[in-house]
Amino acid sequence: MKSLPKLCLYDIMYKTVKRGKILSIIADDNDFNQKSIVTKNPVVKPDFDEGDKTFENSIRPKNFDTYIGQSSLKDALKITITAAKKREKTLDHLLFYGPPGLGKTTLAGVIANEMGVPIKITSAPALERPRDIIGILMSLEEGQILFIDEIHRLNKVAEEILYPAMEDFYLDMTTGKSQTVKTLRVPLPKFTLIGATTKAGELSGPLRDRFGIIHRLEFYNEEELTQVIKRTAQILEIKIDEKGAKAIAKRSRGTPRIANRLIKRVSDYAIVKNDGEIDEEIANKSLDILKIDEFGLDTTDRNLLRLIIEKYDGGPVGIETIAAAIGEDSRTIEDVCEPFLLQCGLLQRTPRGRKVSPQTYRHLGYKLKNQSSQQTLF
Ligand SMILES: Nc1ncnc2c1ncn2[C@@H]1O[C@H](COP(=O)(O)OP(=O)(O)OP(=O)(O)O)[C@@H](O)[C@H]1O
Ligand SMILES: [Mg+2]
């Protein structure tokens, strides 16, 4: 081995790895494609739920034409993809961030389809050990997309391995022990990393800087959600009219995942009450039964807002106090309930804690703070 030129040694190693010989030792395929924390969510919480898996895969848009909304992001991506294809180069690494259920994973699949390349999907918690990330990197093909979900949860070691892979398409590996230790630079095929996170703020600076393109996904408007609902209804062969779709869209918290969940629930109700057909009345009645109000708030959201109004005179109040009072975990409140409440102006974040807005008082049927915080009859 010693007499072999360096390049030749790497070549042998690379080819061996490509044939899957080393791969089987360093990578455990069972770890791929795993989601991390899986919890049961109430119907209007945007988190991924294991029960959504098969259903979501069957209705995921596969290309830009069927991917609804996010128009400025789509326009930018179309240009990037066309340019990469013309140059016959791989895409720059991309980072998508935004609240859960807005279509980050779906978009990664759309990009792979539009580029005509395969995609490998994993999530940061599945890449705990160095061999996990090394294995997945070595299994990539030229031009392939590697999608890492929840990328803010990558540990330091995995990040360090990823840096040279993202920048120069090399993997720095050490072999041997103590005095005989050697560093090898193993070349990797040119690939595109797509990272997704709901918490861009928790991503380390050096990792964020290695993404050439960074995009935020926005909440969807009512019109876009109506289209999402009509498309899903068509795929699932559910009969729904325009007004029925709009009624569901209004209560979907700007999130396609919730819209898709609600249509299933409303459809159940419609089967029992209206021969399976969804109109405005059926949609509203079934959503009322689910205790989802016209803003898309559920009982937990309303309890949270009521607490701030009734016990803390509209706030500000600390998140830990709120969490203890309503019996929820503070991270769940921050990650799951808050993004939409902040977005629609029912909750505000201040340095001294959370407070509600005059709109919250009106929405929940309270007199405004400066008049009286007593609840009134609407
Ligand atoms: N633009 C869209 N048009 C139509 N359907 C969409 C769109 N975006 C998302 N969806 C639907 O919403 C569901 C959730 O999307 P997706 O899994 O991509 O969200 P996500 O942002 O990756 O969520 P998470 O942060 O939990 O991983 C999917 O079933 C998908 O079909
Ligand atoms: Mg996702």
| Pairing, β 94-97 against β 192-197 | parallel
Q: Is any ligand 1 atom within 6 A of the Cβ of residue 109?
A: no
Q: Cβ(339) to ligand 1 under 6 A?
A: no
Q: Is 68 in the pocket of ligand 1 (CB under 6 A)?
A: yes
Residues 17 and 104 in one domain: yes
Is 104 inside any structural domain? yes
Quick check: is 92 catalytic? no
Q: pLDDT for 271-289, tens place per residue?
A: 999 999 999 999 999 999 9
Domain boundary among the residues 216, 232, 266 is at 216
Boundary of a domain, candidates 216, 241, 261: 216
The per-residue pLDDT for 306 is: 97
| 40 inside domain | no
Same domain, 194 and 103: yes
What CATH number has the domain bearing residue 20? Answer: 3.40.50.300
The domain of 255 spans 222-289
Q: Are residues 73 and 203 in the same domain?
A: yes
User: Quick check: is 294 in a domain?
Assistant: no
Across the chain, what does the average pLDDT equal? 86
Q: Are residues 90 and 226 in the same domain?
A: no
Q: Is residue 75 part of a domain?
A: yes
Determine the residue type at 370. N
pLDDT of 343 over the 60 cut: yes
* 119: CB partners within 8 A, 6+ apart: 108, 109, 112, 144, 145, 146, 147
Note whether 92 and 143 are same-domain residues: yes
Say yes or no: 123 and 268 in one domain. no
Lowest model confidence (mean pLDDT) among 45-59, 252-266, 344-358:
45-59
Residue 49 forms part of a structural domain = no
Within-domain flag for 36: no
Asked if residue 106 has its Cβ within 6 Å of ligand 1, the reply is yes
CA 279 to CA 241: how far, in whole Å? 6
Q: Identify whether 226 is a catalytic site residue.
A: no
Looking from the CA of residue 259, the nearest atom of ligand 1 is 12
Q: Are residues 83 and 203 in the same domain?
A: yes
Q: Does any domain span residue 172?
A: yes
Q: Does the pLDDT value for residue 376 go beyond 70?
A: no
Q: Verify that 156 and 19 share a domain, yes or no.
A: yes
105 a catalytic residue: yes
Please list, residue by residue across 170-187, b when 16 or more beta carbons sit within 10 angstroms of its beta carbon and e when fewer do.
Answer: ebebeeeeeeeeeeeebe
User: Of 167, 198, 216, which one is at a domain's C-terminal end?
Assistant: 216
Tokens 């309930």 map to which residue? 337
Q: Does the annotation mark 15 as catalytic?
A: no
Terminus-to-terminus CA distance in the chain, angstroms? 84
pLDDT > 90 in the chain, percent: 76
pTM (2 d.p.): 0.84
Per-residue model confidence (pLDDT) at position 151: 97
Residue nearest to atom 26 of ligand 1 (CA): 100
Q: What is the mean pLDDT of residues 145-157?
A: 96
Assigned domain for 350 exists: yes
Q: What's the rounded mean pLDDT across residues 178-200?
A: 91
Domain count within the chain: 3
Q: Which residue, chain included where needed, has tokens 């201040």?
A: 350
In a shared domain, residues 177 and 251? no
H or E element at residue 101: none
Q: How many Å lie between the centroid of ligand 2 and the Cα of residue 153?
A: 14
Q: What is the pLDDT of residues 302-329, one digit of tens each?
A: 999 999 999 999 999 999 999 999 998 9
The DSSP line for 282-321 is HHHHHHHHTT--TTS--HHHHHHHHHHHHHHTT--B-HHH
Residues 110-141: tens digit of each pLDDT: 999 999 999 999 999 999 999 999 999 999 99
Which of 254, 213, 295, 299 lies closest to 100 in space, CA to CA?
254
Check whether residue 212 and residue 226 sit in a common domain: no
pLDDT at 84: 96
Same domain, 21 and 151: yes
Rounded to the nearest whole angstrom, what is the distance from the C-alpha of residue 221 to the centroid of ligand 2? 20
